[in-house]
Structure 1
Amino acid sequence: MKRILIVGGGYAGFYAAWKLERRLRPGEAELTVVDPRPYLTYQPFLPEVVAGSVEARHAAVSHRRHLRRTRLVSGWVTVIDHEHRRVTVQPAEGTEFELGYDVIVVTAGAVTRKFPVPGIAEEAIGLKHVEEAVAIRDRLLTAFDRAAVLPPGPMRQRLLTVTVVGGGFSGVEGFGEALSLAHALVRRYPEIRRDEVRFHLVEAGERILPEVTDRPGRWVVESLRCRGARVHLRTTVTSAVDGHVVLSTGEEFDSELIVWTAGNAANPVVDKHTDLPVDEHGHIVVRPDLRVGTEAEPVADAWAAGDDAAVPDLVAPAAGTRTVPNAQHAFRQGKLLARNIVASLRGREPEPYVHRSLGAIATLGIGHGIFQYRRIVITGVLAWLMHRGYHVLAVPTWERKVRVLVVWLTAGLFGRDVVSLASVEHPRDAFVSGGAPRPAAPPVPPIPPAPTSRPSTEGDQP
């Protein structure tokens, strides 16, 4: 049997394996998926996990439940040696080992792009995985609990300040959903005024949501500002040491929660640890039919798709355009991968990837959304309902569709669940302390008044 190895179990990898199981004849090929996580993360639901509108486990699709004819290997692929048809796998426990293959499918996905900003590595949370979305929600809920018993002052204001860096879909949707949750919490905390809750969205570009045109993008900014948010355009974070955020405009404030969503970077194993051809951005060079290589120099028995592949966009007006690295493309490419691999095994020609955009849609919190398809722009409640309708149909497996729909209906009847489970990060505390309260934290020193004139920091930019 042909040994097919899929590197990564995200959108493209999961769908490729899922559809291959249905298309391959018994005994035709052996499937293996290598991924450190035992599930596919449905990332469009992460902002709603932040807001408590979707249960965390419902944004994850179990590999073992749905990939029943596939060997699942828990670990990270650290080296791809295609010349010798083998990869090196590093498991969470134990020593690394090698796996051989006949056909490789690289769908490892991208990683969060980070910049050398002081304090970000120590203070910020990403928004790419379920555990990050859960941590953001729990931190926000816990911050309200802590702030409610404090008198007005620097510490209370710090707890009620949230900063999101990055104005793409992930950042804007996470920001809008967290803002919606915070406004809902104010109604349950009479000790906290709405004007004490401060949300900052920081974007280095001139506008947010680059996937939509200028006018809808401006509408989103104005909508967020009308809801009390502060949107900083053409602005970067120069420091976040100890939660003290310093912006390139000179503005400074303390923030208990910092969320970093400033784009994607190439996966290190694809960028630096493979003999497969990569472009200047660290993405695998892919033909329109998702085979690795170029028309003149194809690479035998190698396929790639998703965020770590430079897939040509055949419907774009400009030559050389690549498909946008998003979920809409990844899961469609995963389905095509399965069809093309089976066709190749049976001596048929694979077909090229051609996909016309269905438009851009984003949630900005309960009752707030935006949809754009060419010149058609829909905003408000209708766009929000369209967002929910699209994604409940797009999330894989009927089991997940039903679970998500039930949670939405329940929340519509009874409201959000506003219980923080941040204590699960320290499950032994109650056992060790025997129920005794923790020692009080040392008092926070007062913040000195801002100087009347601030020296130039132009030379300190990262």
Structure 2
Amino acid sequence: MPDRLSQMRGLYRLIDVRTILVVGGGYAGFYAAWKLERRLRPGEARVVLIDPRPYMTYQPFLPEVLAGSVEARHAAVSQRRHLKKTKIISGTVVRIDHATRTVTVRPAEGPEHPLAYDTIVVTAGAVTRKLAIPGVAERAIGLKHVEEAVAIRDQLLTSFDRASTLPPGPRRQRLLTVTFVGGGFSGVEGFGELLSLATALVRAYPELDPKELDFHLVEARDRILPEVSAEQGRWVVRSLEKRGAHVHLGALVTSATGGHVVLSTGVAFESELIVWTAGNAANPMVHRHTDLPIDARGLLVVRADLRVGTEDAPVPDAWGAGDDAAVPDLAAGGGSVTVPNAQHAVRQGKLLARNLLAELRGREVRRYRHHSLGTVATLGLGRGIFEWKGIVIRGFPAWLMHRGYHVLAVPSWERKVRVLAIWLAAAVFGRDIVSLASVQHPRHAFVVGGDPAVLAIDPEPVTGGGEPSSVPGGPH
């Protein structure tokens, strides 16, 4: 390993080009690399980006992906298509040793190996916050990646198909029961969109009664959507309840074993689909496997100019932004830090690129200060809410504002056009209600060969190893 590092450093000194290493290809990392490669002069620096996924997920589109309003691939922005001058490594950084300017990379294939750099940009993002609740790890699906949104949609559609073949009763009711845990933006938007899909979907199943739909939103606090005012949060609850949903405030999930959901309030019910959106947790690599300074929550300590460190003790050649960094919120003041959302991460990524270029060229860097453009959320097809400095817009106009803002915000004209085309097609022809849950078990048809005897014995899809799965189309 030392010999390899020496060779790498010798090569870099020979060609005298700085290596800027970006850890993580989410909003902040993608935009930092994208803007850097557009503005760097030839031979000024090379950009290397390491991420286990070959795309950046545009997370605000995930609720519409699970509702079928946006094609799954259109919520994913290809790194190689847009980062043509950046060296992309498919893998995960498992350790940062800034003292020696090296990271340990675990590639998609092959053994772990060290990689040297001159400047590091840590934008590894956060992970879904999980709690040690019985049954959650086995049953729940998150809503942070495209694959999860697709799995949620397919499981709902599959549940409708299966419920339509059953007589009214507990099993059919379980298949038509959906539970979301977490009343933040991700949970409320996903819940509203899936409720909208289910309400429209039941019309295509004459065997089912719309009153059988049973949607539950569970939130530990006494309100949902903390980003909007308390009054507007209450309005959202009333709006969801008018559509037949059950909103459980001040409630915790104490168990979800086998799909039997038990709340701290004593309420219990059977739920086939459980979606976990109960906030973010610190990235384990940032929290435990780096010599860079972190705070009590496991977030990178960064200054307002996005350098790692404090005002009095900056860390040379280290920068951070996004959900894994405690970026001071100068607009709010009071020692607060920016909330982990797309609006901040995108703008921080762009500022990272500007400040890195400024440092390379001996210019003054800028501090991050962003005044909110307001809060807008979708609550299902044709429903939304917008709030900004006391101005509140609800219903269809807010929903249009949500779509308009995000189609402008998603990077590249190619993605904007694709998303608009899907929306226009859906407006003319309606939602696509085909489930592709079987794609999660691609060998099933090959293994059973359509043999009725095999299907009668084992009606569940099989995994790659030929064993039956316990939840068709669900989490594994």
Task: Sort the TM-score into its range (normalised by shorter chain).
Answer: over 0.9
Q: 1:339-389, CA deviations, whole angstroms, 9 ceiling, x for partnerless residues?
A: 000000011111000100001100010011000001001100000000000
Choose the corresponding residue for 1:67, options 83, 90, 102: 83
The runs of 5 or more residues in structure 1 that have no matched partner are 443-462
C-alpha separation in 2, matches of 1:305 and 1:281: 15
Deviation, structure 1 residue 100: 0.4
- Paired residue type of 1:384: W
C-alpha separation in 1, matches of 2:383 and 2:457: 40
* Number of residue pairs the alignment of both structures matches: 442
- Paired residue type of 2:73: R
C-alpha separation in 2, matches of 1:19 and 1:91: 25
Range that drifts further, 351-360 or 428-437? 428-437
Q: Look up the SS of the partner of 1:225 in the other structure.
A: helix
Choose the corresponding residue for 1:386, options 393, 401, 404: 401
Q: In 2 relative to 1, CA 35–250 (structure 1 residues): closer, same or farther, beyond 3 Å?
A: same
1:351 is aligned to 2:366: yes
Determine the structure 2 residue equivalent to 1:187. Answer: 203
C-alpha separation in 2, matches of 1:376 and 1:439: 59
Q: In 2 relative to 1, CA 441–232 (structure 1 residues): closer, same or farther, beyond 3 Å?
A: farther
Determine the structure 2 residue equivalent to 1:178. Answer: 194
Determine the structure 1 residue equivalent to 2:344. Answer: 329
C-alpha separation in 1, matches of 2:227 and 2:334: 19
C-alpha separation in 2, matches of 1:132 and 1:440: 29
Q: 1:141-167, CA deviations, whole angstroms, 9 ceiling, x for partnerless residues?
A: 000000000011111011000000000
Deviation, structure 1 residue 86: 0.3
Determine the structure 2 residue equivalent to 1:413. Answer: 428
C-alpha separation in 2, matches of 1:289 and 1:434: 60
Q: 1:304-344, CA deviations, whole angstroms, 9 ceiling, x for partnerless residues?
A: 0000000001111x421101110000000000000000000
RMSD: 1.0
The runs of 5 or more residues in structure 2 that have no matched partner are 1-16, 460-476
Deviation, structure 1 residue 440: 5.2
C-alpha separation in 2, matches of 1:23 and 1:294: 28
1:402 is aligned to 2:417: yes
1:140 is aligned to 2:156: yes
Pairwise mapping of residues 221-260 of structure 1 onto structure 2 (< 5 A)? 221-260=237-276
Q: Look up the SS of the partner of 2:162 in the other structure.
A: helix
Deviation, structure 1 residue 208: 0.2
Q: Look up the SS of the partner of 1:5 in the other structure.
A: strand
Pairwise mapping of residues 6-17 of structure 1 onto structure 2 (< 5 A)? 6-17=22-33
Determine the structure 1 residue equivalent to 2:7. Answer: none
C-alpha separation in 1, matches of 2:382 and 2:432: 17
1:128 is aligned to 2:144: yes
Determine the structure 2 residue equivalent to 1:212. Answer: 228
Q: 1:259-315, CA deviations, whole angstroms, 9 ceiling, x for partnerless residues?
A: 000000000010010000000010001011000101110100000000000000111
Determine the structure 2 residue equivalent to 1:455. Answer: none
- Paired residue type of 2:232: P
Q: In 2 relative to 1, CA 244–340 (structure 1 residues): closer, same or farther, beyond 3 Å?
A: same
Q: Look up the SS of the partner of 1:31 in the other structure.
A: strand
C-alpha separation in 2, matches of 1:248 and 1:93: 44
C-alpha separation in 2, matches of 1:90 and 1:256: 36
Determine the structure 1 residue equivalent to 2:357. Answer: 342
Q: 1:412-439, CA deviations, whole angstroms, 9 ceiling, x for partnerless residues?
A: 0000000000000111111111122423
Deviation, structure 1 residue 92: 2.6
C-alpha separation in 1, matches of 2:449 and 2:295: 57
Deviation, structure 1 residue 93: 2.5
Determine the structure 2 residue equivalent to 1:374. Answer: 389
TM-score, normalised to structure 2, is 0.92
C-alpha separation in 1, matches of 2:281 and 2:57: 18
